[in-house]
Every structure is written in C-alpha cells, then in structure tokens.
Chains A and B, each alone.
Chain A
Amino acid sequence: MAEVTYLEALRQGLWEEMERDDRVFILGEDVGIYGGAFKVTEGFVKRFGEARVIDTPISEAAIVGAAAGAAHMGMRPVAEMQFIDFISCAYDMLTNYVATARYRAGLPTPLVVRGPCGGYVRGGPFHSQNVEAAFFHTPGLKIVYPATARDAKGLIKASVRDDDPVIYLEHKWLYRRIKEQLPEGEEVLTPIGEARLAREGRDLSIISYGATLWKSLEAAEQLERDDGLAVEVLDLRTLLPLDDAAIMRTVKHTNKVLIVHEDTRTGGLAGEIAARINEQAFEWLDGPIMRVTAHDVPLPYAPTLEDFVLPQTEDIVKAARWLAAY
C-alpha cells in the first residue's frame, strides 16, 4: 500500500491505461511538455511520446471533435479541458455530435473528456464551475465525479474502458487535499453507475458527490458528536446514469433526505434526484426532501463572497438538524 493524493491516483489510472492499451491517447492544451495546468499528465510525453500526448491549439470544439473522429476509427482518446469551465466551448460538439453518434448512426464513440472543476479555491466565475447539470440533460453521455482517491483512479480507468462517451469531472479542491492508501500492483476499477455508501446511519440520509461529499461527512461527524444523530451519507460517484437503487435504499433506511451539491440550485441535479425519490419512494418519506446547494449566482472571487455563495459544512449541519427535527 502507498499513500497517494486524489491527483496522483488520477494520474496513475491514466498512466496505467496508456500502458495497457496503445489505442489510448491524450489531447488537450499544455498537456505535453508542461504536463497539464495541474500536472495530471506530467511525465507522460516523455514516456509515451508526442504522438500519444498531443498539445493542441486553444480549441475545445476541435479537441472534442477530433477525439470523436478518432474514437469512431477505433482509438480511445482522453481529451483534457484545461479547466472544465471551458467545456462550454465544446457543448455543441458533445451534445449534438458525440452524444447522438451511437443512436443516430451506430457509431462507436468511446472517449473521455476530463478536467478540473469546482470552487472553494478563489478561482472566480470562470475557473470554479460545476458543469454536470449542463450535460446531465443529454441522453448518450455518461458523467462521473469521483470524491475519493480510489475512485479518482478507479473511475478514470473505467471511463477509458467504457464504450460510451464519458465526462469525467475532477474536483481541484480535492486534488492535493485528499490522500488515501491504495494497493500497489492491483487493479483499481470503480464500476460506472454505482453509488457508494460512505457512512452508515439511521436518522437521515445525505446524498452528495464531489467536494461536498467531504463537507457532508464532516457535518455527519459533528451531528453525531453534538446531537447524537446517526447520519447516512451516500456518495453518488456516477451522476449519469444515476444509481436509483442505491438512492432508494438509503431513503427507505432513514426516511429523510438531504441532497447536497456545490452546483447552483435551479436546474441542479438535486431537483432530479428529489423527483425520482418522489416517484419511487414517496410513501417512505417522513419529511420533505431538502436541498443544500450554491446560491443561484455566478461564483464570485472574493473569499467572503465565495464562502457565502457556496454550501459550507455549517450549512449542512443546520439543514440536517432542521430536517431531523421535522
């Protein structure tokens, strides 16, 4: 076993897939000699060469489009968005071209688009976004969002091997903050489409993913310590497709649900999750399904502003107390 960061786990996963399968290649901005803005691909060009680690122009649509064309021809491209905020420049390519390719034309399009997302890092409006909701609405795409180092590795490897296009969201606040012991010389794979019970409890459930998974766990500990509440925490890991079975299991176990995400509220994933619980487990609920999310504003830069807009551990604690007392 060796302790690795979330970022190093992701890097290992990519490296192993490049070693395993020569159809895998990387393309993106500054991914070569510079090793990527956050050094995820550091050392890759030296090991795998410029043909398999391609520095591109600042052209997200071309990056994703070229990945799609190569995927049709049997390659396994991994496209990096330098910051996930810039994936919007490839929105057309992903939603219109990539997502529909199999359905409309039977085209195999196994590609991964990955990049650093999320706030709590004083990145301002264009280096802090969470983009899952923009793509969640598109049949044909898969979306994964690891919270742990193990899943950072396990999900990138599963994404590269998946026969469908996958958007892999990696949280930059977790990059070097999260460390975990991972086995050496053993395959780490996280199946796409399976949530993980991160903490067991019987009083209420928190459903979350990404950075707010950790804030939810922190809140759960505080609630146990201060209030004697046993809070269950579900880490979704895959956002599309959602693991309905795991969601309903925890709802039926605790009968109260708080959904926590860093993305803004309106049109965020919590709305869809709440709707599914309503449809599939209405009679199991002992209280309203509540949401803790970012406020509906673009994410501001100043620490006082960002901290106010984003959901904090204390917000989760207060919301959970309110729900527990309902």
Chain B
Amino acid sequence: MAGNAGPVQGPPLAVEAKRFRCAAEALRRQDFFEGSPFGPGRPALLIWQSPRALLAAPGDARLRSFASASRICAENGWPVATRRGGGRVCPVSPGTLQLAISRPVSAGVTVERAYREMVALIGRLLDRFGLRAACGPCPGAFCPGRHDLAVGGRKIAGLAQAWRRVEGEMVVVTGASLVVDECDADLAAAVNLFYRDVADAPGCRAAAIGSLSALAGGGVSPCDVAEMLRAIVQADREPA
C-alpha cells in the first residue's frame, strides 16, 4: 500500500520563514493560507515563530473546561489558539520553531507519506548536529503521537496533520513543532495547567521533553535552525 512507501516525492518546496505577532495569526497563515505568498497550490514549507502560546487541537476545543482553561492559561502567559491538526495541546514559544509543509493532494499522497516527508526533513536537520532521533510515541511528553521525534528518550518534535480544501484545492498540511532552546519544565507546566481540570488527561513530564540546543551542547538558536532548514530545502532545488 502507498502508505508503506517513502516520503512524498514531488516538486521542491518554496520556503517562507516568518515571526508572527501571535500564534493565532500564525495558524491562520498555516491552516488557511491567510497572507501566504504562495497559495495552496504550491508545495511549500512555512517556518514560523510566535510569542508563547498553547496550540489546542480540535478535540481540546470541545473539552468542557476549554473556556476556563484558556482563560487561566492566558492569565499565566500562555494564550490558547486552536489549530486544525489533531492531537493534544502543544506549547510554542520564541524558543521553539514550527514547521508546516503544505502540498496539494495528488495521487500517491497519503497520511504516512506526508508525515515521512516532515520526519525526513527534521532528520536531515539533526544530522547536521550529529543527532539521530527515534520516531515513535514518547510517553509523558506533550501531545504524544506515533510520529514523535525523540533523542535519548526526550521529545524534541511532534507532528500533526490536516487535510482540507483551500481555494478549491485539496491540501495536506503536515505541521511540526521543534523545541530548539526552551525550558522543559516551563513547557510541561503550561500543558499541565491547561489540563488541570481534565480527569483523564495524560500528565506532561519535563523529563520527557528535550531541546535541540541542549542535546547539541548549547548555543543553538531558532534563527540558526531556520536558516539551516532553508539551506536544506534550497539544496533540494538545485540540480545535482
């Protein structure tokens, strides 16, 4: 089956890197192409940053406690914005980078292949730091899923995906949040604050979260990583 094949193969990605005023604005760009220089018909990588926020999944937005949790989190410096992709709450901050690969859906594009494209991109980034990530569920981390990327058992990236029609084009957006240089305890505390009134919510542990900078020995900034990602994608566009 197509899902067992490699990552999506197709035209090279256009790249946009942008720092947004808030996560909600970034999600409007990522999920609805608001202000996009490319439009949904062109395969593209968006690399974005925003001030601290919690990205809630559609299921989170249906929790009975959503409104009160959002208010409390905002009062504590973590405003909540709802994304299209599934999963659970994902914390973002100036110390994390969010990546979103968007592709118009065509033959051979499947959930698995789109995820593998993002996993491969992050894998190539980690290669530059001499790091290798395991792909699989990372218990105790934020927004756990089958495409978590962890180094030494600590999650540094989580992936989610949304398929929707935009301007007449069916598009798959595969998103990733990469922890570059951020305090693991702050991220875990923010996630646990959001779920404090949800009885069956999985707890988030700081020890299950890593950061690229710490794993690479320090001194790695989100700006450095964004430039590396741009260079990796640029290399794909140039003839061998």
* Bound together: no
Q: A residues bordering B, Cβ < 8 Å?
A: none
Q: B residues bordering A, Cβ < 8 Å?
A: none
